[in-house]
Amino acid sequence: MSDYAAPILYAVVIWWFLTGAILWLNHRPRRTHAWSFGATTLALVIALWVVAWSASQESEAGAYAAFTAALIVWGWQEMAFYMGYLAGPRRTPGSATDRGLARFGAAAATNLWHEAAIILGFVAIAWLTAGSPNRMALWTYLVLWGMNLSARLNLFLGVRNLNAEFLPEHLRYLGSFFRRAPMNALFPVAMILATGFLLVLLHPAVTESASAFKRSGHTMMATLMALAILEHGFLMLPLPSAALWGWGLPARRPGADAAP
């Protein structure tokens, strides 16, 4: 069991810290964003270099390096979106009269450039790791992408907890595309699929013949998937998820998480 404790702890700590750091930077005054994003872009360049380097490292250190680099690449995507540099052509709230495909199209227009950047990030990591023994960075990125997309679709379809306090002031219009509902048809399907994928990720780590590379890498990815499932649970359960990153969020304003 001790062989699994270190990768589990590492995945939990880096997930918690990077999420809080991104929230804190996004909620800082707008005049600070250019400097923050510039520094994060430098980190992105370094992370992509680490992805390329670690691709040939079928070792425990290589697994940690690939996992960390993928998180930094994803962090850049989140920063670019939440700071408004790569959001979408629409920067206005949704209309109360929009329904069905019209509402979905309007919502999609708010993050179109973000989705394009995510796809480019996937292509870059896939290319840097093509034909290499260590593709942990690619799988980690796919976990983050898939669960992020699932969370946004669930917010669009309807959840109990909107967590609108996570949105910085300049992106408050996104809250108009969230919907409060006790349940939606996608949520249980997403949870079942995510749990199944969690087991697929975990299996190579718990076999008797698992190398240190597979044990550490797959344990970290499975932990990340478990944390993403937990975050999905926060959307439906009456739990104070924002308290996990209270240090990264500004003082809560009355009515900030009210349903749009």
- Write the CA distances from 83 to 80, 104, 141, 171, integer angstroms: 6, 22, 20, 8
Q: What is the 3-state secondary structure (H, E, C) of 125-173?
A: HHHHHCCCCCCHHHHHHHHHHHHHHHHHHHHHHCECCCCHHHCCHHHHH
87 in any annotated domain: yes
238 in any annotated domain: yes
Evaluate if residue 259 carries a pLDDT over 70: no
66 in any annotated domain: yes
1 in any annotated domain: yes
20 in any annotated domain: yes
223 in any annotated domain: yes
Q: Tell me, what's the pLDDT at 98?
A: 82
257 in any annotated domain: no
Question: Tokens standing for 130?
Answer: 């093509």
254 in any annotated domain: no
Domain enclosing residue 30, as ranges: 1-245
Q: Which amino acid is at 27?
A: H
Name the pLDDT band for 254 (thresholds 50, 70, 90).
very low
Whole-prediction pTM: 0.91
* Count of the separate structural domains present in the chain: 1
Q: Tell me, what's the pLDDT at 258?
A: 41
Q: What is the largest CA-CA distance in the chain?
A: 58
Poorest-pLDDT segment among 48-62, 78-92, 134-148, 240-254 = 240-254
Q: Cα-flanking dihedrals φ and ψ of residue 162, to 5°?
A: -80, -25
Of the two residues 155 and 243, the one the predictor is more confident about is 155
Q: Tell me, what's the pLDDT at 256?
A: 43
Name the pLDDT band for 257 (thresholds 50, 70, 90).
very low
